[in-house]
Chains A and B, each alone.
Chain A
Amino acid sequence: MALLVFRDIAKSYGIVPVLKGIDLVVKPGEVLALVGENGAGKSTLMRIAAGLAPPSSGTMLLDGAPAPANLHAAERAGIVMVHQEFCLAPHLTVAENVFLGREMTRGLFTDRKAMEMRAHDLLAELGSSAPVRARLRDLPVSDWQMIELAKAFARQPKLILMDEPTAVLSATEAGNLFTRIRVFRQAGGSVIFTSHRLDEVKDIADRVAVLRDGQIVRVENTRDISEDAMAEAMVGRPLAEIYPPRRGAAKRKALLSVAGLTSPGTVEDATLDIREGEVLGISGLVGSGRTELFEALFGLRPARCGSFVLRGEARSLPAAREAWGLKLAYLTEDRKGKGLLLGKSLDQNVALTKGAINGASWIDRRAERRDLEAAVGRYDIRTGRLDVTAGALSGGNQQKVLIAKTLAVEPDLIVFDEPTRGVDIGAKQQIYEIIATLAAEGKAIVVISSEMQEIVGLSDRVLVMRRGRIAGELSGDAISETDIIRFAMGLEDRAPQEEASH
């Protein structure tokens, strides 16, 4: 008997299809992993199961009856979701957050004591010792994740949906979570979770469903499929092919050398060279200070440094607008929040940064239109019409517009922060080509990415960050996922499972 059945589920946002004809069964007492590239539709499928988004077509059954269609009904029916972005109230205490919306009461009043005791137990089951009376905003993100998980278990659900639950957890914390999941499974509970870490999938899941471009391409018992086979099913071709050919190792000149860069609370004493014609990969766990390092470098957050030598000349850290003038460009990971004006036209977006740096007082609309047309051709931006808003484009095309906007200022150093997040595989390959071409032209390139394969596939050299510090450097043939993970986790905290690099 199946707990949850997806039958021919499809979902589109506007004209963009995200899920196409999903058929999937979740059994009671089963841990099912959803894997796939960013933008493959994993989160969307989970949101549909949680009642957060209605499917565009298809049916969903829970215990043989039509599944609840909204969040509250889903929660009553025993389905809870642990989001990738936290849904917690920073100003409330840990215990209050765990019981948010389901406060235990005694008479008219909330029963604080009972809630604190219960929250403490729930957290202890997850191996967490987060203080239940502390306010959330005073605690680190890994605690937030544990509180989010405790909140889910507190509701005594039949099915828990977890979107990237281990992204901000250390290996030890992840291990504790898996122990708790096994107990939950023993008691008959089901879990659907997503993860980018295929070793985890292998470790905890009973079955794995691979999503690609909105479709399920493979469903297997986990013991019957190797990590490599999962990865290949995810990208749809042998892994090596989607990355441009490597450039030969060469002695390259440093464009920018920084020593002792510190940004309070996020980056500590970072020293690095960024070289012309080289792709420098930046890896590390979420929250290890990767983005913050480069924001600090380019005046986007407060920082100080020992020395900043650009093109052989020492100077002080540049302020935000100054960095652009020095031809140092940072391409944000937050496309919607910091990258593009979604409500504005494409030509305005492409012209925004260039115009802000050295544009004339009066706007030349015809020139902007010409620039857009050129960008559409050069970066293969696929849009039916040129006079749409940036928000109307798909993720991959938005990313290309952001790239066009950033490259319009003709920078010498470009930091690509998560350049392929939420981008489909075709656009991904094109973005890799753009990056390789820029490096071949002699530009200094930095790629920050959470996708290990992307780092390994693109980089000539890799810096791995851990807790705000640069924990290790790898270059050329020595770049491997195993070593990156070791550095990212800290040498004493070994990777959970030795894994062959491809």
Chain B
Amino acid sequence: MTDITATSTGDAAVSPSRTLAGIFEAAGPLIALILLMLIGSLMSDSFLGAENLSNVFTRSAIIGIIAVGATFVITAGGLDLSVGSLSALVAGVTIMFMNSAAEVLGPGWQLVAAGIVCSLVVGAAAGLLNGVMIVKGRVEAFIVTLGAMGIFRSIITWLADGGSISLDFSLRDAARPIYYGQVLGIAVPILVLAVIAIVGELVLRRMRFGRHVAAIGSNRHVAFYSAIPVNRVRILTYVIQGLCVAIATVIYVPRLGAATPSTGLMWELEAIAAVIIGGTALSGGFGRIWGTIVGVLILGFISNILNLAGFVSPYLNGAFQGAIIIIAVLLQRDRSQG
């Protein structure tokens, strides 16, 4: 993992060819997901039931939204390790803000809206800070976001004084629908994830900005010599990441109603794993949001199957995720050398 930060080598990936191998490679994560669902359905009758599926999707939505942002960062050849602790920080600050603003705004939708704005501002600001330090300060993304990870986590622990920051009980009903609500029978977190994923895919695939993100990840020097505003685009990917973390946190807060020093622990692992499993190149230059969503679902179903099956402790979930990241990167390396 020496080249995780943007050392901007050209990606040696072959063109998305129409050969059988090309199709298999392109659809690999999807095939893995289908296999996983087959295994799941053999293990438990309730696996494919609407309740279980909705449950897995809803839980996956939070990591999924963060992973959409991570897809932008990684495609541009960067890395953000601070997403988990940023989520805890955003949750803590937002809850404190809502508790104190409740006297002015009352426990209604205005308060929820103000809370959302507060989250977005904190998330975007943190992303901007990361991006500026990495791009203008020319410090490796790995170092900056590793440092930020420690700083954010430590601030929330200090704010919570080692305990937790809870949303006042009187306010919980107002925030509740964000996680537990449904529109047309579909849970709100799933809808939000779907919208963000579709917007993300369009931006990355169809918009000039997305083209520039991939060009920078592919070879930063070529991008610079091609008149692409490299610094601005790189910083923006971190801002997008921060905004995605904020949106995910907004959905997560009503579920627990509190922020603690362990909120969002290891989320960076899950988000990066999802991105890599989905086929985005860890060294940058190529990314796909739909792959990331499939990656998130793969992680979600593995965890779900471990819970349902009962013969492997769910405590080992993290080990599975870690192993999957390493295997996915190994497969990518074989591909690029082939």
Binding site for B on A (CB under 8 A): 300, 320-321, 324, 330, 332, 334, 336-345, 348, 352-353, 355-357, 359-363, 387-389, 391-392, 405, 409
> From DSSP, what is the main secondary structure of chain A's interface residues?
mixed
Q: Please give, as numbers and ranges, the residues of chain B lying within 8 Å of A353 by CB-CB distance.
A: 226-227
Q: What are 18 A-B residue pairs whose CB atoms fall within 8 Å in the complex? A: A321-B227, A338-B221, A338-B225, A341-B215, A341-B222, A341-B285, A342-B12, A343-B11, A343-B12, A344-B215, A344-B218, A352-B226, A353-B226, A355-B208, A387-B15, A389-B15, A391-B12, A409-B227
Pick the residue among A334, A342, A362, A405 that contacts B226 (CB under 8 A): A405
Closest 10 CB pairs of A and B: A343-B11, A356-B227, A389-B15, A324-B227, A353-B226, A338-B225, A356-B228, A352-B226, A338-B221, A342-B10
* Pair B227/A339 contact, Cβ less than 8 Å: no
* Pair A337/B221 contact, Cβ less than 8 Å: yes
Pick the residue among B10, B206, B228 that contacts A352 (CB under 8 A): B228
A295, closest chain B residue (CB): B225
Q: Please give, as numbers and ranges, the residues of chain B lying within 8 Å of A359 by CB-CB distance.
A: 208
Query: Known interface pairs A320-B227, A330-B225, A356-B227. Does A341 touch B211 (Cβ–Cβ under 8 Å)?
Result: no
0/1 per residue, B1-25, Cβ < 8 Å to A? 0000000001111110000000000
Give chain B nearest CB distance to A361 CB in angstroms.
5
Q: Please give, as numbers and ranges, the residues of chain A lying within 8 Å of B224 by CB-CB distance.
A: 300, 320, 338
A359 to B15, CA, bound (A): 24
A359 to B319, CA, bound (A): 46
* Pair A356/B225 contact, Cβ less than 8 Å: no
A391 to B15, CA, bound (A): 10
Q: Please give, as numbers and ranges, the residues of chain B lying within 8 Å of A357 by CB-CB distance.
A: 227
Query: Known interface pairs A321-B227, A324-B227, A332-B225. Does A389 touch B208 (Cβ–Cβ under 8 Å)?
Result: no
Chain B 144-183 interface residues, beta-carbon cutoff 8 Å to A: none
Q: Please give, as numbers and ranges, the residues of chain B lying within 8 Å of A348 by CB-CB distance.
A: 211, 215
Q: Please give, as numbers and ranges, the residues of chain B lying within 8 Å of A389 by CB-CB distance.
A: 14-15
* Pair B10/A341 contact, Cβ less than 8 Å: yes
* Pair A361/B209 contact, Cβ less than 8 Å: yes
Sample of 7 further A-B pairs with CB below 8 A, known A300-B225, A343-B12, A352-B228: A338-B225, A352-B222, A355-B211, A360-B208, A389-B14, A392-B15, A405-B226
A387 to B12, CA, bound (A): 16
* Pair A356/B229 contact, Cβ less than 8 Å: yes
Q: Please give, as numbers and ranges, the residues of chain A lying within 8 Å of B48 by CB-CB distance.
A: none
* Pair A391/B209 contact, Cβ less than 8 Å: no
Q: Please give, as numbers and ranges, the residues of chain B lying within 8 Å of A338 by CB-CB distance.
A: 219, 221-222, 224-225
0/1 per residue, B255-282, Cβ < 8 Å to A? 0000000000000000000000000000
* Pair B225/A362 contact, Cβ less than 8 Å: no
B218, closest chain A residue (CB): A341
* Pair A361/B207 contact, Cβ less than 8 Å: yes
A360, closest chain B residue (CB): B208
Count contacts on B: residues with CB < 8 A to the other chain: 26
Q: Please give, as numbers and ranges, the residues of chain B lying within 8 Å of A352 by CB-CB distance.
A: 211, 215, 222, 226, 228
* Pair B206/A337 contact, Cβ less than 8 Å: no
* Pair B208/A343 contact, Cβ less than 8 Å: no
The number of residue pairs between A and B whose CB atoms lie closer than 8 Å in the complex comes to 82
Q: Please give, as numbers and ranges, the residues of chain B lying within 8 Å of A330 by CB-CB distance.
A: 225
A348 to B221, CA, bound (A): 16
Give chain B nearest CB distance to A302 CB in angstroms.
14
Q: Please give, as numbers and ranges, the residues of chain B lying within 8 Å of A343 by CB-CB distance.
A: 10-13, 218, 285-286
Give chain B nearest CB distance to A32 CB in angstroms.
35
A331, closest chain B residue (CB): B225
Q: Please give, as numbers and ranges, the residues of chain A lying within 8 Å of B14 by CB-CB distance.
A: 389
Most-contacted residue by chain B among A334, A352, A409 (CB, 10 A): A352
Give chain A nearest CB distance to B9 CB in angstroms.
10
A63 to B218, CA, bound (A): 46
A359, closest chain B residue (CB): B208
B233, closest chain A residue (CB): A356
Give chain B nearest CB distance to A502 CB in angstroms.
35
Give chain B nearest CB distance to A359 CB in angstroms.
5
B220, closest chain A residue (CB): A338
* Pair B225/A339 contact, Cβ less than 8 Å: yes
B285, closest chain A residue (CB): A343
B234 beta carbon closer than 8 Å to chain A: no
A324, closest chain B residue (CB): B227
A338 to B220, CA, bound (A): 8
Q: Please give, as numbers and ranges, the residues of chain A lying within 8 Å of B13 by CB-CB distance.
A: 343
Q: Please give, as numbers and ranges, the residues of chain B lying within 8 Å of A340 by CB-CB distance.
A: 222
Q: Please give, as numbers and ranges, the residues of chain A lying within 8 Å of B12 by CB-CB distance.
A: 342-343, 391
Give chain B nearest CB distance to A467 CB in angstroms.
25
A300, closest chain B residue (CB): B225
Pick the residue among A320, A321, A361, A409 that contacts B208 (CB under 8 A): A361
A354 to B218, CA, bound (A): 18
B212 beta carbon closer than 8 Å to chain A: yes
Q: Please give, as numbers and ranges, the residues of chain A lying within 8 Å of B212 by CB-CB distance.
A: 356
Most-contacted residue by chain A among B11, B206, B225 (CB, 10 A): B225
B17, closest chain A residue (CB): A387
Q: Please give, as numbers and ranges, the residues of chain A lying within 8 Å of B218 by CB-CB distance.
A: 341, 343-344
* Pair B10/A391 contact, Cβ less than 8 Å: yes
0/1 per residue, B196-226, Cβ < 8 Å to A? 0000000000111101101100110110111
Give chain A nearest CB distance to B3 CB in angstroms.
15
Most-contacted residue by chain B among A338, A357, A387 (CB, 10 A): A338
Q: Please give, as numbers and ranges, the residues of chain A lying within 8 Å of B221 by CB-CB distance.
A: 334, 337-338
Q: Please give, as numbers and ranges, the residues of chain B lying within 8 Å of A360 by CB-CB distance.
A: 208
A387 to B16, CA, bound (A): 9
Q: Please give, as numbers and ranges, the residues of chain A lying within 8 Å of B229 by CB-CB distance.
A: 321, 356
A330, closest chain B residue (CB): B225
Give chain A nearest CB distance to B289 CB in angstroms.
16
* Pair B208/A363 contact, Cβ less than 8 Å: yes
Query: Known interface pairs A337-B222, A387-B15, A388-B15. Does A363 touch B227 (Cβ–Cβ under 8 Å)?
Result: no
A324 to B225, CA, bound (A): 10
Query: Known interface pairs A300-B225, A356-B212. Does A336 touch B10 (Cβ–Cβ under 8 Å)?
Result: yes
Give chain A nearest CB distance to B199 CB in angstroms.
13
Give chain B nearest CB distance to A354 CB in angstroms.
9
A421 to B219, CA, bound (A): 21
Q: Please give, as numbers and ranges, the residues of chain A lying within 8 Å of B207 by CB-CB distance.
A: 361-363
Give chain B nearest CB distance to A365 CB in angstroms.
8
Give chain B nearest CB distance to A345 CB in angstroms.
6
* Pair B227/A345 contact, Cβ less than 8 Å: no
Pick the residue among A300, A320, A339, A362 that contacts B222 (CB under 8 A): A339
Give chain B nearest CB distance to A448 CB in angstroms.
15
Give chain A nearest CB distance to B224 CB in angstroms.
7
A341 to B223, CA, bound (A): 8
A334 to B224, CA, bound (A): 13
Q: Please give, as numbers and ranges, the residues of chain A lying within 8 Å of B214 by CB-CB distance.
A: 344
Q: Please give, as numbers and ranges, the residues of chain B lying within 8 Å of A405 by CB-CB distance.
A: 226
Most-contacted residue by chain A among B12, B214, B215, B222 (CB, 10 A): B222
Query: Known interface pairs A330-B225, A389-B15. Does A341 touch B209 (Cβ–Cβ under 8 Å)?
Result: no
